[in-house]
Structure 1
Amino acid sequence: MLLLPRVRREKHYRGFNPLNKDFSDEELRQRYRFGRESIEFIANELRADLERNTRKRTALSVEEQVMIALRFYGSGSQLQVVGDTMGYDKSTVSRVVRDVTDALHAYLSSFVG
């Protein structure tokens, strides 16, 4: 009997970074309640707290994490709905929202007097 090597299917990840898409500033505001410059500002402020020290190709960028949290905050939707809309698992959305919320809370005194 001849056994052929098992061929693995290529993995396809559903998540994407809308900042890299051709969304206009208005489309970003409709989805995330912030424009491109504001999202980039928030991501840069939180970069030290949110950046992952990993080589995994699937690691979320700081911008992706911020946008997932903003989508959750701005939509009032459930974690599952945000995850389905943006292409992430509910557990990923939950972790990201927690991490971004904690990072924002740490910077609260810098922006609110």
Structure 2
Amino acid sequence: MAAVILQRYRERRLLRRNRIFRDRTHPFDVFDDDVIFAKFRFRRQEILAITDDISVDILLSKRMGSLTPLLQVLITLRYFASGSFQDVCGELIGVDQSTVSRTVTRVTDVLLRQ
């Protein structure tokens, strides 16, 4: 009996999917200043200033695949600027709706405390 359970555990371990890291597009690399202002309602320098002010409070971790403070601010500003659904805002950067929800909540809380 124990041998069967051990064999099933080994089989399941072999069937695990590898983590997939999505290639996120960075809006600062892709868009020019006019498009950034149209999509986020702030200028490039203003976005960088906001990020500098709150980056310590929203830094999650340094693990691979985590969102940088700049991307978190961009996701939040895009959500506020567009008034659209979270999944639509996340598609611009390549993150899921649940990530947008957590990010907007976190950044908004930090901004309100400032």
**What is the TM-score normalised by the length of structure 2?**
0.78
Change (3 A) 1:58 1:36: same
Q: Give the whole-Å Cα distance in 2 for the aligned partners of 1:77 and 1:25.
A: 22
Q: Distance in 2 between matches of 1:80 and 1:22?
A: 20
Tell me if structure 2 keeps the 8 A contact 1:80–1:89: yes
Q: Is the 8 A contact 1:17 1:63 kept in 2?
A: no
- Look up the match of 2:41: 33
Extract unaligned runs of 5+ from structure 2.
1-13
Confirm whether residue 18 of structure 1 aligns to residue 27 of structure 2.
yes
Aligned residues: 100
Asked if 1:42 is matched to 2:85, the reply is no
Name the one with the larger helix percent. 2
Q: 1:9 to 1:51 in 2, by over 3 A?
A: closer
Matched position secondary structure for 1:66: helix
Q: Is the 8 A contact 2:21 2:65 kept in 1?
A: no
- CA-CA distance at 1:23 after TM superposition: 1.8
Q: Which runs of 5+ in 1 are unaligned?
A: 108-113
What letter matches 1:65 in structure 2?
Q
- SS of 2:89's partner is helix
- For normalisation by structure 1, the TM-score amounts to 0.79
Deviation at 1:59, TM superposition (A): 0.8
